């Protein structure tokens, strides 16, 4: 799935994001961040841990949790808290909402249609200015076509 954030290599992007956030780019944070940037399936911390082990053998689950927390706190990645389980993580920094398939637990990024803004979609009180979009749609996602 190509997005603007995936046009440059994960390594370049990881360094750029970390410099911008002011977080120190440790080997562990780089491994975790590159793992998330390479994951379009909104993985949980446990899944990220398994994948990060391939990039940095010996990294601990606790370190992965700490890295994810720091990266989410600096909004380098998005932390998603659905009411049906563990937090999931999203590397897509373009404004979007999530569509959760409750049966399969799959999550898709859903963007506003071109030319549409949040104020066009919701009947907001006068004077409200939306600063961040965070929402979850629940539904069923058809299986991918072969």
Q: Which is nearer to Zn ion, 56 or 110 (CB)?
A: 110
CB of 24 to Zn ion, least distance (A): 26
30: closest CA among 9, 47, 51, 55? 55
CB of 60 to Zn ion, least distance (A): 26
Tell me the CA distances in angstroms from 40 to 61, 106, 120, 124, 136, one per residue in order: 21, 11, 28, 31, 17
Residue 79 CB coordination number (10 Å): 15
67: closest CA among 38, 45, 91, 41? 45
Question: Which residue of 15, 101, 109, 121 would you call a contact of Zn ion, by CB under 5 A?
Answer: 109
Q: Which is nearer to Zn ion, 95 or 128 (CB)?
A: 95
Please identify the residue of the shown chain whose CB is closest to the bound Zn ion.
90
90 binds Zn ion (CB under 5 A): yes
92 binds Zn ion (CB under 5 A): yes
Which residues in this chain contact Zn ion in the complex, by CB under 5 A?
90, 92, 109
């Amino acid at each position: 799935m190509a997005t603007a954030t995936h046009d440059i290599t994960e390594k370049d992007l990881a360094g750029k994001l970390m410099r911008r956030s002011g977080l120190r780019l440790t080997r562990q944070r780089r491994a975790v961040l590159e793992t998330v940037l390479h994951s379009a399936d909104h993985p949980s911390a446990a899944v990220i841990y398994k994948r990060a082990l391939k990039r940095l053998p010996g990294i601990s689950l606790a370190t992965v949790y700490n890295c994810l927390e720091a990266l989410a706190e600096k909004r380098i990645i998005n932390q998603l808290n659905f009411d049906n389980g563990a937090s999931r993580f999203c590397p897509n920094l373009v404004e979007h909402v999530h569509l959760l398939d409750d049966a399969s637990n799959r999550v898709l990024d859903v963007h506003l249609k071109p030319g549409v803004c949040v104020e066009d979609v919701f009947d907001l009180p006068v004077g409200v200015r939306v600063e961040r979009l965070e929402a979850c749609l629940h539904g069923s996602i058809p299986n991918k076509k072969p």
